[in-house]
Amino acid sequence: MRVRDTDGHISRDWFRTTIWMPALAAAEIQTHVRMHDLRHAHASWLLAGGADLQVVKERLGHKKISTTEKYLHTLPDADETALSALDQMRKRRAA
């Protein structure tokens, strides 16, 4: 048996063959869904939910913030999200 030395993260190959592919089969998903698609969705959902760009950058392991900024194109209401987050902070201070 081959042992992989990792930094604590799950191996991509192991996740794909042990978790991802069986889950797609169990859900009877016929379309091709790449891990990149899942990663993109994760980043987009974090940002849409108001997560800080720097936090998402670190979570995805990007070296440059400009790489993470590419996910912002999926947020047509980014200005509204930012204003909503600001409003929530104001409400916290008032309470």
Rounded Cα distance, 61 and 68, in Å? 9
What integer pLDDT is reported at residue 49 of this predicted model? 81
What integer pLDDT is reported at residue 1 of this predicted model? 62
DSSP state of 10: P
Please report, for the chain, the start and end positions of each structural domain, with discontinuous segments joined by +: 35-94
Of 17-26, 32-41, 79-88, the one with minimum mean pLDDT is 79-88
DSSP state of 62: -
pLDDT-derived band of residue 25, with 50, 70 and 90 as boundaries? very high
